[in-house]
Amino acid sequence: MLSVQNITYKIGNKVLLDDVTTTFEPGKLNLIIGPNGAGKSTLVKVLCKQLQPAQGAVTYGQKPLQDYTDLELAKIRSVLSQNIDLAFPLKVWEVVMMGRYPHFSSKPDQKDNMACEEAMRFFDVLDMADRNYMTLSGGEKQRVHFARVASQIWYPVNDQYRYLILDEPLTFLDVHYQFQFMHQIMELLQHQDLVVVGVVHDLNLAAKFADKILLINQGKVLAQGTSREVLTTENIKAAYRLNPFIVEHKEKEAMYLFFE
């Protein structure tokens, strides 16, 4: 369980997060949505200990976030940021191995190598393991980083949850790979000790895959719950200033959103 209690974050007099309270459960796909500037990435940075809130608390399992050392946190929580650029050439397998750095001090052992190999295979980048990362397309680089963050928390940890936090993971991916990635995350979530929190912009993908949606607008929680509870005409109008046309497919328990 990842819990957020009454988080407020300010820069000067500007409030970027205003009394945000929510929980993200293991074994479920938790997605954060909202318009540009709503506070989504700020919340992710607070969850990751990159920003210190003015008030409120974040709890990983039963332990407050501030009680973790950076190394302790890195062994159970991995983060995919929006920035996937590297300033120097590395082979793909070397980039993926970065995810294992918290787990060894001098050189990786067989367990680290296996984690990277399995993660690369899972995200379909094993065949490019020896390629120069700098020569890859944006989508290929994104998939390499999927393998990197997955390798970091590839193995279960005794009596602890594992946490995967994804800030706009679908950037650079075409439609095929967007759907493939979402299905891959759903497969990983079969491990009930895994907590996944992601930021996405595509409301239809959120409607299709999310177990829980957190809708943020102007730094506040506008709605949270299932897709049908959150993606209502009123909420979409309030957050996005768009008039949606919502179609529900009851047999498939699916909903689709169109915009004028």
Give the model confidence (pLDDT) of 102-154 as tens digits: 999 889 999 999 999 999 999 999 999 999 999 999 999 999 999 999 999 99
**Within-domain flag for 255:** no
**Within-domain flag for 211:** no
State whether residue 22 is helix, strand or coil.
strand
Is the pLDDT score of 32 beyond 90?
yes
Is the pLDDT score of 26 beyond 80?
yes
- AA identity, residue 20: V
**Within-domain flag for 114:** yes
Domain residues for the domain of 126 are: 84-156
**Within-domain flag for 46:** no
Is the pLDDT score of 70 beyond 80?
yes
**Within-domain flag for 151:** yes
- Residue 252's pLDDT band (cuts 50, 70, 90): low
State whether residue 99 is helix, strand or coil.
helix
Number of H helices, E strands in the chain: 9, 12
Alpha helices in the chain, H assignment, sequence order: 40-47, 70-74, 92-97, 110-122, 138-152, 175-188, 203-209, 227-230, 233-240
- Count the domains in the chain: 1
Q: What is the pLDDT of residues 188-207, one digit of tens each?
A: 999 999 999 999 999 999 99
Residue 130: Cβ within 10 Å count: 9
Rounded to a whole number, what is the distance in angstroms from the first to the last CA of the chain? 38
**Within-domain flag for 212:** no
From residue 231, alpha-carbon distances to 40, 149, 204, 214 in Å are 17, 29, 10, 10
**Within-domain flag for 120:** yes
% of the chain residues with pLDDT over 90: 87
Region 14-21 average pLDDT: 96
DSSP notation for 122-168: HTT-GGGTTSBGGGS-HHHHHHHHHHHHHHHT-S-BTTB-EEEEEES
**Within-domain flag for 110:** yes
